[in-house]
A and B are shown apart, each in its own frame.
Chain A
């Protein structure tokens, strides 16, 4: 397999306001190509668009807007992990030798239809994600004695990180007390435990080793990939586990030849506070019993290794763009370009992106 590197990135600001997705898509793709020296639009032979929007033919539309006539263009939808699914598809095109340089752009409007999976009849009338999140939270509290305060620390920490992210939907700080006293959604979930659906777009360019070395002097390599789908129905999950994440992480670690302890910085899918605690356990960074304590320690020591960009809770969650934005953050971290968010001497980073209560997960390892 050919090696694949990240050679360019571009983003828009995330916002709670509704927006035109074609405009957002063009803005982030244009930012991406403009910031990628030694790479013109005509060099790009693949264009992939990740979105949950119902708009048609987005790969071809973005190609035309960018003046590209690629060999391959299409869109990819996989709910909240559409972004990493598109990156992994592009990786596969390049590593197989079919394409050389691929632009991947993710986009969403705040009113996207991706929050509810109508097919899953087992959710009955409780089909909004707040209901499965409440089940996971209650079950984690019951089994691992996770406290309200530990959950609130996840949100306070990620809001604090987002203050230094100029592209986050909000830069408002939130204290632990504010989170714990925010509007109660259910007995086990408060409004500040939830990520917000946002408008926004993120773009990235991947290239083969041969092309990448001509484009950039600061290459970031995708060295590990794991994906797993266990079901589409939420109710087939074991409540205390995100099995798809554990399996995907093990595949990614094996491919990269690393152990979890080698991860210097990670963007994990904190759709709700509970998801971060469960994810860092399934990724092998800590254990379920110690996840609350682990996050408390990060917060108290101002260690930004988990979700330095603010995660989904702090930065916002434009579904199709989220996985790409996470990947851009880790790329910047490994290039030493994250300014106030920078983790010192970061060499190995991880991206965790998942869909529909963790019924499927993507994990990627990046190295500089």
Chain B
């Protein structure tokens, strides 16, 4: 398992960051492809914004933008239909594959 996956298993979403270029690198990589310096890991702020969503059976899912403009697909937990631009809190886990859960607060 990679460090990223190990950390997901611990409930932590880690993002590679190049201090030299002052930019996040996604998907994560240990060496920056621009300046070739070694990158560091930074924990996500675990918050995001809904870009688009749909629903399968009773489960909402969607494209969410988190730290540094990184976009990922995940489940949206909400009590009523979500809205584009809504803020969400992120909870991550790993069960064979990554699972990203986004909770709409004050929905």
Contact = CB atoms under 8 A, between A and B. Distances in A.
A185 B100 contact: no
Determine which residue in B51, B56, B70, B97 has the highest number of CB atoms from chain A within 10 A of its CB, and name it. Answer: B56
Contacts of A122: 26-27, 70-73
A188 B54 contact: yes
A235 B61 contact: no
Interface in A274-320: none
Interface in B85-105: 95, 97-100
A144 interface: no
Nearest to B72: A122
Which range contains the number of A residues in contact with the other chain?
20 to 34
A124 B51 contact: no
Interface of B, secondary structure class, is strand
A131 B97 CA distance: 15
Contacts of B71: 122, 235-236
Contacts of A135: 52, 54, 62-63, 73
Contact of B97 (A125, A134, A185): A125
Interface residues of B, number: 24
Nearest to A236: B71
A239 B63 contact: yes
A125 B27 contact: no
A139 interface: yes
A189 B95 CA distance: 26
B55 interface: yes
Nearest to A125: B99
A234 B75 CA distance: 16
Determine which residue in A130, A134, A142, A189 has the highest number of CB atoms from chain B within 10 A of its CB, and name it. Answer: A134
Contacts of B95: 125
Given A121-B4, A131-B73, A233-B27, A126 B61 contact: yes
Interface of B: 4, 26-27, 51-56, 61-63, 70-75, 84, 95, 97-100
Interface of A: 119-127, 130-132, 134-135, 137-139, 142, 185-189, 233-236, 239
